[in-house]
Each structure stands twice: as C-alpha cells, then as structure tokens.
Chain A
Amino acid sequence: MVARSLTTARLTLRLPIASDLAAYTAFAVSARATSVGGPFDEAKAFDKLAAMIGHWELRGWGRYVIALDGRPIGHCGPLDTFGGTPEMTWTLWDDNALGQGLATEAVRAVIDHLLTDCDWPALKVCIDPRNANSHRMAARVGAVRSDEPGPVRWPEAQTYYLRKEAA
C-alpha cells in the first residue's frame, strides 16, 4: 500500500489539502508553469489541485505535496495515465526553494517508496525538451531515456523510464 505521507531529512510529503490552493495557484499562474503546460488561470489551478486530491481517493495513490517547515513548496509523485505505466511528476512551486536539492530529496524518497517498498515495476517520466533542470533531475535519479513518443496530450515531451533494478 502506498503511504499517505513520507518524511525525508528536511521534508514532509503529504496529501494535497485545501490550504495548498494559494501556493499552488501562485505557481500555476506564473511563467515558470510554462514547463508543465501552463501558465494556467486561477480556475484551472483550482480544478487541477482538486483533481490531484480526487486522484488519491480514487486510486489510493497520487501526487504528494512537498512541505518544508509546514509550508507547501511543491508537489511530486505518480499520476495515473489510464492503463499505461504511472507517470512520475515533480514541480517546485516556490522560487525560494530552488537550488537546494529539495526536489531531488523528495523525488528520491517517492521513487524509493514506490519501486522498493511498494514493488512497482516502473515509472514513466515525461519532460519538456527545453526544461534543462528536469532533464538533470531525471539523470540524477537514474531515469533512462526512451524513444517512446510523449503522451497524446503532450507529444513533444521527452520520455524516460525509472525501473526497479536501477533504483
């Protein structure tokens, strides 16, 4: 069973909640959201956070909110792709949280939990070709580049796979 919260040296990973909406929306409407298909308007941000919450209820797993000292700074975790390999996602919402290895710390904890504790066989990763930071993250956490095209909603994305043996 996938844990509903995880802790790392500096972070708590927990389910998204209503009070995350302001911090998530601030990111979603910003220029930085371009790399994840945005920027979005406030209504779309509400819809996306609500769907993130509902995904957990429907699947029993989903994307964690990354909290630093009780403050939500991003999200990371698996997303259902409707029958395919679950897609591992990560995004830091807070500009001030960048450059300290916090995303890596969160992503490593989630990957380790899913592939080792939960024995999932694989995770897929889809990254905007221009998002250099995310490509570096993929390399750091052992993701292997794939020739598979991106998903229908995002055909230009570069795909990677994370597998149990590489974790």
Chain B
Amino acid sequence: MSLTNAPRLETENLILRGPEDRDMDHVIAFMMNEERAKGFGYYDNRPQAWRWQALSIGHWHIHGYGYFTIETKDSGQPAGLCGIWNPEGWPEPEMGWVVFDGFEGRGIAFEAATRVRQWAYQDLGFTTLTSNIVPDNTRSQALAKRLGAAPEKTYDNANMGVTEMWRHPAPAEVLK
C-alpha cells in the first residue's frame, strides 16, 4: 500500500516508487550499518532507524516530494533510496542517493539519480539542485561528477557535520 502521494517513475532497469511497508526491514538494515550509512544518517538502534523511515514518509506529506525507494525490475526488491530531501535546517533542497548492500556496482544510483533529477526539474519545476556529500565519500563524489555536478562550497550540516555542497547542472542543460 502506498504511504505517500509519490508518483511511480521508471527507467530501463528500475522502478522508483514511494515508501511502502515492505521497505522497512531493508531501510532499517541500511540505517543501522555504520559503514554504509555514516554519510547519510547512521543509527545504532532499531527504534531510531524506524523513526527515520516514518520521518521520510512524513517528509513526502509535508513537501510533496521525498525519498523514493529504488526497486530493480529484475529482483522486485528494494535496492536503495533516491530522492529530493529538504528538512528544516537544510540550506536548500538536495538530491540524495544510497544503494543497499548487494546492489552496488550496477550503476543503480546513477540511473535512479538521473531520473529523479529529471523529475525534479520537469515535474516539480525546480530551477536548481544540490547534493550534500561528506568529504570522505569518494563513491558519491565520483557519481556526482558523473552526473555533471561540481563542488560549490563546504559547510557545517546540522546532521552530518562538515559537508560538501555539490551543484547540479541547470534544467536547460539536463532536459535538452
């Protein structure tokens, strides 16, 4: 059952959809994995990780956008999260992405982020988009570069500490 008003987006290999009940264990496993989640929001206990997913659902209700669950068409399983995040305290809306354990190395984040950025520009009418990346997250930096984004500044994020803000190419460059 859909828990939000999120649309369903498709790419060649992926379905991007709103959070569903069956995502919970996958999201909790990710959020409680310090190595994987430290640049995103790591929690050492299940209740806090559950609350993050509740917050993510509420974010959709408040803003009308949020994190999609990425599902691979071949597995039908949740493979990661990608979406637009803008809670109170964020300098401006950002596009974020994470890939769950076992789904790396298949270009999933690039494929999802390309589609989400198109949605943000085309359907939400965003005129610019950032991504916040912690300085030692070389994988995300490489992906941001591949998406055509460039580092703009470093700032102190309330949740993540010292963070690089990357800026994506403008709609005119992406939607041509």
Please say whether chains A and B are actual partners in one complex. yes
The residues of A with any CB-CB pair to B shorter than 8 Å are: 17-18, 21, 25, 41-43, 45-47, 49-55, 57-58, 82
A78–chain B nearest beta-carbon distance, Å: 14
Task: Give Cα distance in the complex from A18 to B56, angstroms.
Answer: 13
B17–chain A nearest beta-carbon distance, Å: 14
Determine whether the beta carbon of B61 is less than 8 Å from that of A17.
yes
**CB neighbours of B55 from chain A (8 A):** 47, 50-51, 54
Cβ-based interface call for B59 (8 A): yes
A57 and B3 contact, Cβ closer than 8 Å, known pairs A17-B61, A18-B62, A47-B55: yes
Interface of A is mostly: helix
Cβ-based interface call for B24 (8 A): yes
Determine whether the beta carbon of B87 is less than 8 Å from that of A54.
no
**CB neighbours of B4 from chain A (8 A):** 57
**CB neighbours of A54 from chain B (8 A):** 3, 53-58, 61
* Given A43-B89, A58-B24, 6 extra CB contacts under 8 A: A50-B55, A50-B58, A53-B54, A53-B61, A58-B53, A82-B46
Q: Which residue of A lies closest to B59 (CB)?
A: A50
**CB neighbours of B3 from chain A (8 A):** 54, 57-58
A21–chain B nearest beta-carbon distance, Å: 7
Residue among B24, B47, B58 making CB contact with A52, cutoff 8 Å = B58
Determine whether the beta carbon of B56 is less than 8 Å from that of A46.
no
Q: Which residue of A lies closest to B4 (CB)?
A: A57
Task: Give Cα distance in the complex from A54 to B4, angstroms.
Answer: 9
Determine whether the beta carbon of B47 is less than 8 Å from that of A46.
no
Task: Give Cα distance in the complex from A51 to B51, angstroms.
Answer: 6
Residue among A17, A18, A47 making CB contact with B87, cutoff 8 Å = A47
Determine whether the beta carbon of A46 is less than 8 Å from that of B57.
no
Q: Which residue of B lies closest to A18 (CB)?
A: B62
Q: Which residue of B lies closest to A62 (CB)?
A: B54
B115–chain A nearest beta-carbon distance, Å: 24
**CB neighbours of A58 from chain B (8 A):** 3, 21, 24, 53-54, 57
Q: Which residues of chain B from 1 to 34 have a CB within 8 Å of any chain A CB?
A: 3-4, 21, 24
Cβ-based interface call for B158 (8 A): yes
Task: Give Cα distance in the complex from A46 to B63, angstroms.
Answer: 11
**CB neighbours of B59 from chain A (8 A):** 50
**CB neighbours of B61 from chain A (8 A):** 17-18, 50, 53-54, 57
Which of B3, B4, B50, B61 is packed against the most chain A CB atoms within 10 Å?
Answer: B61
Cβ-based interface call for B136 (8 A): no
A26–chain B nearest beta-carbon distance, Å: 13
Cβ-based interface call for B44 (8 A): no
B2–chain A nearest beta-carbon distance, Å: 9
The contact sample of 30 A-B pairs, CB cut-off 8 A, is: A17-B61, A18-B61, A41-B89, A43-B88, A43-B158, A46-B62, A46-B87, A47-B87, A49-B58, A49-B62, A50-B54, A50-B55, A50-B56, A50-B57, A50-B61, A50-B62, A51-B55, A53-B54, A53-B58, A54-B3, A54-B54, A54-B55, A54-B57, A54-B58, A54-B61, A57-B57, A57-B61, A58-B53, A58-B57, A82-B47
